[in-house]
Amino acid sequence: MSEPTQTIEGWYALHDFRTIDWHAWKAASEEIRADALRELTAYTEKYRADDQNRTGGFGVYTIAGHKADLLFVHFRSTVSDLMDSETEFDKTSFATFTKKPYSYLSIVELSSYLSKPDIAPEDDPQLLPRLRPQLSEMMPHICFYPMNKRRSGNDNWFMLSMEERVQLMRSHGMIGRKYAGRVTQIITGSAGLDDWEWGVTLYANDPLEFKKLVYEMRFDEVSARYGEFGVFYVGHVVNDQELVDFLQL
């Protein structure tokens, strides 16, 4: 058996995607819509405060295309807290106008491939914000997709030796580092939690950076040989006023 990679976990993550039933929303009276928006804003304000106080991570995004209209990203210390935040939303009157096309449960994961020798990861002050991300500090565009490392014939990531994986991840990290300041990544592990092995959440000022980075990584062996990818979701952060404007008829 190959040696499993040691990982450090941070907050659990729920990517909660919603589509809006525009037909029902338009058919609702102005009063019902106003109540729904009030409840929606009370919900987002509460979780935005947690993000500011660093007791949880929270962000709201509008999503491009048919796959979803809205994305609520929650980071919390337990799965039950995440489930509570999901149910709390479902109980708002605004939720009556939404459906859930997709969601993803995972946990922030840092692997030990490239960790500094002689420093315990818990003692590295740079690690805490990576384990417990504050989403209000992120760049405005978001890209989320789940992924696996291939387990097929000779291309089986999990049968590689630790040395081979370290070598390959070094090259992955070198490409990633070229995008420092332009793309921020949050890697969440989801083996045993959801349908894929990792969630990849990227943030950038310019969505073109997502294409450049993901395309460049496709030529790197870790992605070219071992990467398998799910559905991509791309969108833009919204504050409370922008969220209300987005829903205003």
* 139 interacts with ligand VOV by CB under 6 A: no
Scanning residues 50 to 79, which ones bind ligand VOV (CB under 6 A)? none
37 vs 186, which CB is nearer to ligand VOV? 186
- Please identify which residue in 23, 66, 116, 177 interacts with ligand VOV, judged by CB under 6 A: 177
* 193 interacts with ligand VOV by CB under 6 A: no
Specify the amino acid at residue 181: G
* 179 interacts with ligand VOV by CB under 6 A: yes
Shortest Cβ 20–ligand VOV spacing (Å): 29
Active site residue 203: no
Sequence ranges of the binding site: 130, 145-149, 172, 185, 223
Interface segment toward ligand VOV; rule CB under 6 A; list 24-32, 74-82, 106-114, 237-245: 106-114
Shortest Cβ 138–ligand VOV spacing (Å): 12
Shortest Cβ 114–ligand VOV spacing (Å): 5
Query: How many residues touch ligand VOV (CB under 6 A)?
Result: 24
* 213 interacts with ligand VOV by CB under 6 A: yes
DSSP string, the chain: -PPPPPEEEEEEEEEEEEEE-HHHHHHS-HHHHHHHHHHHHHHHHHHHHHHHHTSSEEEEEEE-SSS-SEEEEEEESSHHHHHHHHHHHHTSSGGGGEEEEEEEEEEEEEESTTPPTTS-GGG-TTTHHHHS--GGGS-SEEEEEEEEE-EETTEEGGGS-HHHHHHHHHHHHHHHHTTTTTEEEEEEE-TTTSSSSEEEEEEESSTHHHHHHHHHHHTSHHHHTTEEE---EEEEE--HHHHHHHH--
**Which of these, 59, 177, 71, lies nearest to 114 by C-alpha position?**
177
41 vs 111, which CB is nearer to ligand VOV? 111
Catalytic-role residue among 47, 61, 102, 145: 145
Residue with CB nearest ligand VOV? Answer: 176
Q: Which residues pair with 224 in a beta bridge?
A: none
* Positions marked active-site: 145
Binding positions for ligand VOV, rule: CB under 6 A? 5, 110-111, 113-114, 147, 149, 169, 172-173, 176-177, 179, 183, 185, 187, 198, 200, 202, 213-214, 217, 223, 227
